[in-house]
Structure 1
Amino acid sequence: MNKQRGFLLIEVLIAVVIITIAVTAAASLLMQSVKSNISAGKYTVAASLAQKQLEYLKSRSTAVAWNQLTIPETGEVKLGADWQSEANNTVLLNNTTYTLASLASKCPEDSADLVQIRVVVAWSRNSDDNIEMTAVFSKR
C-alpha cells in the first residue's frame, strides 16, 4: 500500500479564501490609515494658517488701526483685504485650496477697549471642513 499524503483541492481553496480575506482586511486598514493621515495633514495646515493670521493681526494691531474699524453692536464684521496676511484670502498648498476669513466683533465682556477676532479656515469644496481660532485684542 502506498500511503501518499498530499493536499486536497478543498484544503487549498479554503487556504486561498482565508488569505484573501486577510489581505483584503489589511488593504482596507491601510487605505483608512492613509485617508486619516491626509485629513490630519490638512487640519494641521489649516491650524497653522489660522495662527499665522492671528499673529499678523497681532503685529498690525495699533490703536489707530483698531479705531478705524467699525464693529457693530451685535454680530460680526468681516475684515477687509488690508487686514489679511494672504492675498485674496486663499492659499493653495498640496493641491488643496484653503480659504481664510477674519471676523471682528465686540468682546463678550462689554469692554470698549477689547475686540474679539475669529479666524476661520475652510478647505473643502462644500466648506464642511474648517477650523476656527478666536483671540481677543486690545484697541490700545
Structure 2
Amino acid sequence: MIPAGVESLLAMAMLSELRDQLGARSDEFLVTVGEKIGDVCIMSAQGDTGYLTRWMNGIWAELGMGSVTLTTGARRLEITHRLPQLPPENVLWSDALPFIVEGVYRSWFHRMDSRGVLGRGSRSKGELKFVYSD
C-alpha cells in the first residue's frame, strides 16, 4: 500500500503536469475524470430531493469533496455545492476540484434522465451552482 503522503504527492505532481501539458483543455479532461468517478458511485433515481441530498452528501463526505443542497424549481433542480476548505498550498487541487465535481454531477444526472441538461451556474471561491433541467 502506498503511504497517504506519497499518494498525495504523486496526485499533485500528476495534476501539475496535466495542467502544464493540456493547458485550458485540462478543465474538460478533469470534468471527464469526474464523470468516471460518478460512474463508479451509482446513484439511485428513486426518492425525493431529500433522499438524493442525503445520498449525495454521504458520497461527498466519504470523498472529502464538500456537500450539496438541492432545491426544486419550475421544471428544474438547483444544485448548490459547497467546496471543502483547503489550505493555500493546495491551490492546484482547489482549481481542479470544481471541474471534477461538475463531472460527477453530469454522470449522476445523465443516469437519472438522459434528456436533461446540467448547466453551469455561478462559481465563487467556496461554492458552485448548477442547474439541471429538461
TM-score (norm 2): 0.32
TM-score (norm 1): 0.31
Structure number having the greater helix percentage = 2
Which structure exhibits the higher relative contact order, with contacts defined as CA atoms closer than 8 Å and separated by 6 or more residues?
2
Structure number having the greater strand percentage = 1
Question: Which has the higher Rg, Structure 1 or Structure 2?
Answer: 1
